[in-house]
């Protein structure tokens, strides 16, 4: 992929969306201008006519029966934006706002929204100018689209609210002056096109997916490390077992785990031991993590479709001159995807936590109690496991589906909503919790391997262990453990840890 991604309507794939989330620059595809212009011209003709058409010359929601005069159509759009910019809470991260803007631009460029090309250019220009509107995180119920957060983005374009210009917070009007720009003057339907749609929910869900993806790959590596640390068997990863069940994710995870452990001298040292079976947290990793992978892939498919869709309302069909009112703004597909991802990340952390418990329990792992060479005087990893348990429990509570909840809004006109936005927003915090659990397991498993020296693990797992040891030494006696966990977490979240064993993870791509 080139450094700059061209936003050709309908062509965003998962790799492109991932690249945008992690900072790739984008450019408009001017080939989209023809359809955009045709759509805008259709709206202009309707605005100049006498027929009442929702969203163009009427009120909104419950007020859709109110007819608006031609002289007030621009004011109608401005009022819509400022009245709907009612979000609260902490600002969304810049990476989320950037991805949201890209998704909105991609949708508008489909030419079904009735917005002028120059407005799309100004929206994309927010990225070029590094002028990101302040978007409060709370206030959307995921239908009629992400109205409040998208209204805050739109407000920045018309000179209302605050923005971050090159990271500095200031009033939007001041930023326009610094950039030598006039605020955008919206015309018929343009405010509605900007603030109606599922782009915030989708951006949050995609961000969650990409962070969970890293944690998932890290958990496969720490799971393999724990197998070796606990003198576990790689027989449960034999592909013949998984072919008989047939789930693709399960087969893929088993393949990755087998490849990660292959060549381990620790494994070779106990092939003829008397142990019959390992606990489920070691033995059933393909079944659990494979199901997680299948959920992630299913969610990814839904989110890519949504990212390439048009989700505002009403929609303009320039070829026939029709404007049709429907419900593409309802974010139920995104809500379901977010709920799937919440289940996935909760289970990743839950399985890691069980392996940490196993490693610290000498009666099961055969390792010194709490992974301490001198237990009693030293508590070792006792409280590190407690932390992992607390994080896993928190994630379990947050994994409760949000899509089953609904509260009617807009005087019961919008009587069923998706709750997709906060369902997706929780994913980043949940991913952070599980990343910390993975970091703790990495520390614990590496400590377990330390007790098996001079035997070594496989080549890729030794590389992972060596990376950890560049920052953190084995724990020979109790010490302040929080900095170790934080340092390991950074390497998990950055992908540095996963990079040491990347070749073994090709089977688990999304």
Residues tagged active-site: 54
Q: Which residue intervals of 116-198 are DSSP H helices?
A: 117-128, 147-157, 172-179, 190-195
Token pair of 131 as six digits: 């002028």
Alpha-carbon distance of 19 to 28, in angstroms, equals 16
Token pair of 179 as six digits: 């950039």
Under a CB-based contact definition with an 8 Å cutoff, are residues 362 and 368 in contact?
Answer: yes
Q: How far is CA 437 from CA 68, 92, 349, 394, 482, in A?
A: 56, 25, 6, 12, 13
Q: How far is CA 59 from CA 190, 325, 410, 417, 510, in A?
A: 14, 14, 12, 20, 43
SS3 label, residue 368: coil
For tokens 């000179």, name the residue: 159
**Whose CA is closest to 344, among 223, 216, 495, 437?**
216
Decide: residue 271, CB within 10 A, 0-12 exposed, 13-18 middle, 19+ buried.
Answer: exposed
Under a CB-based contact definition with an 8 Å cutoff, are residues 190 and 36 in contact?
Answer: no
Alpha-carbon distance of 487 to 446, in angstroms, equals 14
Q: How far is CA 266 from CA 342, 361, 446, 458, in A?
A: 35, 20, 13, 8
Under a CB-based contact definition with an 8 Å cutoff, are residues 368 and 359 in contact?
Answer: no
For the CA atoms of 387, 388, 389, 395, the dihedral, rounded to the nearest 10 degrees, stands at 110
**Whose CA is closest to 346, among 200, 241, 215?**
215
């Amino acid at each position: 992929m080139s450094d700059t991604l061209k936003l050709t309507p309908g062509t965003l794939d998962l790799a492109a969306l991932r690249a945008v989330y992690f900072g790739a620059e984008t450019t408009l595809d001017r080939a989209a201008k023809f359809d955009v212009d045709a759509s805008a011209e259709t709206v202009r003709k309707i605005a100049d006519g006498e027929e009442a058409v929702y969203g163009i010359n009427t009120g909104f929601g419950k007020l859709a029966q109110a007819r608006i005069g031609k002289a007030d159509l621009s004011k109608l759009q401005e009022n819509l934006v400022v009245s709907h910019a009612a979000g609260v809470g902490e600002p969304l991260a810049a990476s989320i706002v950037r991805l949201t803007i890209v998704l909105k631009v991609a949708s508008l460029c489909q030419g079904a929204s009735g917005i002028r090309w120059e407005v799309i250019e100004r929206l994309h220009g927010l990225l070029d100018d590094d002028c990101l509107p302040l978007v409060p995180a709370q206030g959307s119920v995921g239908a009629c689209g992400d109205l409040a957060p998208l209204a805050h983005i739109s407000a920045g374009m018309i000179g209302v609210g605050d923005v971050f210009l090159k990271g500095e917070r200031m009033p939007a009007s001041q930023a326009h002056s610094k950039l030598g720009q006039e605020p955008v003057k919206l015309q018929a339907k343009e405010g509605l096109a900007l603030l109606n749609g599922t782009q915030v929910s989708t951006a949050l869900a995609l961000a969650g997916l990409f962070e969970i993806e890293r944690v998932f790959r890290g958990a496969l590596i720490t799971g393999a490390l724990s197998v070796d640390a606990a003198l576990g068997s790689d027989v449960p990863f034999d592909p013949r077992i998984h072919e008989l069940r047939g789930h693709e994710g399960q087969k893929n995870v088993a393949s990755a785990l087998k490849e990660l452990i292959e060549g381990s001298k620790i494994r070779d040292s106990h092939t003829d031991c008397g142990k019959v079976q390992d606990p489920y947290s070691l033995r059933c990793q393909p079944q659990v993590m494979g199901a997680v992978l299948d959920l992630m892939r299913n969610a990814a498919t839904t989110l890519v479709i949504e990212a390439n869709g048009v989700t505002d309302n009403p929609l303009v069909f320039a070829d026939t001159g029709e404007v049709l009112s429907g419900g593409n703004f309802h974010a139920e597909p995104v809500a379901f995807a977010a709920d799937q991802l919440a289940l996935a990340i909760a289970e990743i952390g839950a399985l890691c936590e069980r392996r940490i418990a196993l490693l610290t329990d000498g009666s099961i792992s055969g390792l010194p109690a709490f992974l301490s060479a001198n237990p009693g005087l030293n508590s070792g990893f006792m409280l590190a496991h407690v932390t992992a348990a607390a994080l896993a429990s928190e994630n379990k509570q947050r994994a409760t589906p949000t899509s089953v909840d609904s509260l009617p809004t807009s005087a019961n006109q919008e009587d069923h909503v998706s709750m997709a936005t906060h369902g997706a927003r929780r994913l980043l915090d949940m991913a952070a919790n599980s990343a910390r659990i993975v970091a703790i397991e990495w520390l614990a498993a590496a400590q377990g391997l330390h007790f098996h020296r001079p035997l070594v693990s496989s080549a890729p797992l030794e590389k992972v262990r060596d990376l950890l040891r560049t920052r953190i030494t084995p724990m020979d006696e109790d010490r302040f453990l929080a900095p170790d966990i934080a340092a390991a977490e950074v390497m998990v979240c950055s992908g540095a840890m996963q990079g040491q064993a990347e070749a073994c993870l090709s089977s688990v791509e999304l």
